[in-house]
Amino acid sequence: MKSTHSQQIESFILSHSNLFWYTPEEKKIHISKELLLETILNYGTLKDSLTLIDLIGCSKTLEILKKAEGRKKMNYYPEIYNFFTLYLSRNA
């Protein structure tokens, strides 16, 4: 099955593969942008987060974040969600 991510995002996933320890190696490049963003914002560095936002795009990242707001169990840490929602709202 071919990945729907760009080559840059695939490389990004593979270079942060340790954060997806629970996902089999061959399935890592198939994770959703939603899971990728959630994991990197919660557990990656600020530099990782900003790199991913650059790869996905500010508008699309903000859209993904806002979509998570309506979920029953939102998995973003509250302070992470608040910071990046404010940051992206100003920069998108």
Say if 35 falls within a structural domain: yes
Give the pLDDT confidence score for residue 31 in this predicted structure: 92
48-75 mean pLDDT: 88
Domain count for the chain: 1
Say if 1 falls within a structural domain: no
Say if 28 falls within a structural domain: yes
The two three-digit tokens of residue 21, written as one number: 């320890």
For residue 61, give its domain range.
7-91
- Long-range contact list for 12-20, CB < 8 A, 24+ apart? 12/51, 12/52, 12/55, 16/40, 16/44, 16/48, 19/43, 19/44
Say if 2 falls within a structural domain: no
Provide, rounded to the nearest whole percent, the portion of the chain with pLDDT above 70: 93
| pTM, entire model | 0.87
The two three-digit tokens of residue 25, written as one number: 């190696």
